[in-house]
Structure formats: structure tokens, C-alpha cells
Amino acid sequence: MSSIPLGVLDLVPISSGSTATEALRNSIDLAQQTERFGYARYWFAEHHLNPGVAGTSPAVLLALTASATSTIRLGSGAVQLGHRTALSTVEEFGLIDALHPGRLDLGLGRSGGRPPGQSATPLTTTTPVVDGRAPNGLRIPPKFSFEHLLGSPRLALQRKLLQLPGAESQEYGEQIDDILALLAGTYRSPDGIEARAVPGEGADVEVWILGSSGGESAQVAGRNGLRFAANYHVSPATVLEAVEGYRAAFQPSDVLDKPYVSVSADVVVAEDDETARELAAGYGPWVRSIRTAEGAIEFPTPEEARAHAWTDKDRALVQDRIDTQFVGSPARVADHLERLQEATGADELLVTTITHDHADRVRSYELLAEEWRRR
């Protein structure tokens, strides 16, 4: 399995009792450490109005981290295009590439529409799932419904604050087309007027599409012949349909002659299973805060997590994520990741780890890298 590269997905989590400043410094340190451990990529997610997450601007984080590292690829996982334009995205990444050429991954995601895991039309996978398991034993839980979030006042406020009054998001496929044209220097308006994104045009970046289902994102990635990142850690129920939908839609391009897939997973690794479970204790309350639309809370200590009074409704909100988090010794977690790779045919795996203490988080990535190299 050491032939399958591992990457890092970082949300820049803020731990309870900590600050955004400390979270940012920890993330830059983690990027430096994981570069030393041999990880292939380091991506930053984009989230807004979350008290426990400082990762609001991937481009800013990438600029800071690029200056503190030298070889690891850096990227967005993902820039959320629902409140951005193609030009602003290309120009931002072009600025960073001008000083750090050949190291950037431009990961693009949808936002402002259906929540993750929801598709315009029902989609299924051809892979048989029996009793919540793929044929190789990978857990595929029942689909989680985001219906309770659709009318959330908090999400409506987020959309209002992120977009200018009266603004409408560009259709996603068209936006991707514009980004690719601006990067290639071939953009023309419907009236035939050219636009030159400088910096940005000719930037040596890898373009990725991130998606949680086999719907629009997978289709856009496939028909443009782009790399695709499927989010098992966001929507484990739909990861198989996502990679299958992408591969079915794939058309060779100047970038790729065959599909290329990365798949993400939440993991916590420690020297033994019991210690790892203790370090992962805060994950449940943290996921609950996201899925209730409260906004991610500061990541709790194990003691704070155990003090949470769970209701049946709470448990239903987080069960699929708890069941699909890979927690344990290096060997146990590596076994889970191998199973994920086998079931999805992933070319790479993207690992996201959150613990309350920064040292435990660094150690988790170190232990996993050591185990992965042995396989």
C-alpha cells in the first residue's frame, strides 16, 4: 500500500481553551511535520461561521503554508464556488503559483445548493452493499438525510453574508469551464472578447473536483477529464456511487487519459486502540454541532466530550460518521484505509485527523506514515 500516496486534509480546528491564532500556527507546523513524514499533499478546507474552525480561506492559508514548506503539494479541499467567481479564484491561485510554482492543487467544490450527499436525482451504486458493508467489508452506512438543514436560519444567514445583495451563483459546470479557460488563456466572452488572468493564466496547478455523490460534481469532473476527490469522511454512504459516477462520465483530456481518484477518511491513530479511542472522544459532539447547523464547536477534550448528554436524536445525527471514523493502532487504521482503497479503487487517500492536543494530532500522522511505509 505504500504505493498509494497519503495526503492531509486540514480544517484548521480550534481546540477548546485555544484560539484561532494557535490553530493557525499548529496547522503550519503540521504541514511542516507531514512534509517530513512523507505525505504527498496538504489541503485546506473552507468553512464559514464555525467557532471551532479557522479554515475560512484556503488561498490565504496556502500562501502562508507555502512559505513555510518546500516540497509537499498544497491545495484547497475545496474552494467553495457558490459565492466566488472564476476570475477571483484563478487570480488568487495564480498569485501563489507565481512565487511557488508547480506545487498547487486547485480543488473546487459546490456550495450554496443542496447539502453534501444530496443529488438532483436519486443515484445508486452497482457495488452490492449487504448489511451496511461493501463486499470487502468496508462500512457503507445508510444515507443520511440533510432535510432538517434546508430551512436553517443559520445557513440562510451564511449565504447572505457570503454573497453580495442580489448576486446569483453561476451554474457550476459553466464556472468550471471558465476557470479552465482562464488558466489556459483561451477565455472568450459570448461577444468574443478575451480575458487574460494575470497572474493565473498558465499557472502550473492541478485542478481537482471534490464531490460527495455521483451527481453534478462527479459528472463535471468526468466530462472534463479532471481529477476527482470523493468524500468518504463527509458522506460515507455515497462514496461508491461518487467514484462510479465519475468513472462512468470520464472522458480523456489533455490532463488525464484515464480516471484519477482520491478518497478522504477521518482517522485517529495512537500507539494502541484504547488510547486512540480516548483521543477521538471529542469527534461525536463536534460532528453533532455541525449537523445541527450550530457551527462547529471548539474541539472538546475527552473529559468535555464525556460530559455531553446524548439523546437518541443526537446519536442519529452522528452515527454514520462515528461508525466510519477509523480509530485505533497504526495497524488497525492502515487495515481500514486499505479496505477503503480497495473498495473505491482510489489512486490516493486523503486523511483528516482532529484531536484536542496538537502533539497527539502530529503523532497520529507520524504513526500512520510509519505503518504505511511498511506495507
**Rounded-to-integer distance, Cα 314 and Cα 317, Å:** 5
The pLDDT score that the predictor gives to residue 121 is: 46
Torsional sign, CA 355, 361, 364, 368: positive
347 to each of 3, 107, 250, how far by Cα in Å?
9, 16, 15
pLDDT of 295 = 92
Nearest residue to 43 via CA among 238, 210, 214: 210
Count of CB atoms within 10 A of residue 361's CB?
A: 25
Q: Can you tell me whether residue 71 is helix, strand or coil?
A: coil
pLDDT (0 to 100) of residue 151 = 81
CATH no., domain 6-373: 3.20.20.30
pLDDT at 195: 97
For residue 9, the model assigns a pLDDT of 98
pLDDT, residue 256, reads 98
Which residue, among 220, 315, 221, 234, has the nearest Cα to 47 in the 3D structure? 234
HSE-CB at 233 with a 13 A cutoff on CA atoms is 27
Q: How far apart are CA 206 and CA 62, in angstroms?
A: 14
pTM of the predicted model as reported, rounded to 2 decimal places:
0.95
* Per-residue pLDDT at 67: 96
Give me the residues of the chain with pLDDT under 50, please.
Answer: 113-122
pLDDT tens digits for 291-333? 999 999 999 999 999 999 999 999 999 999 999 999 999 999 9
pLDDT, tens digit, 9 for 90 and up, residues 82-135: 999 999 999 999 999 999 999 999 999 987 544 444 444 445 688 999 999 999
Neighbours of 165 (CB within 10 A): 5
The one-character DSSP state at 267 is E
The pLDDT assigned to 123 comes to 57
Distance CA 3, CA 130 (A): 30
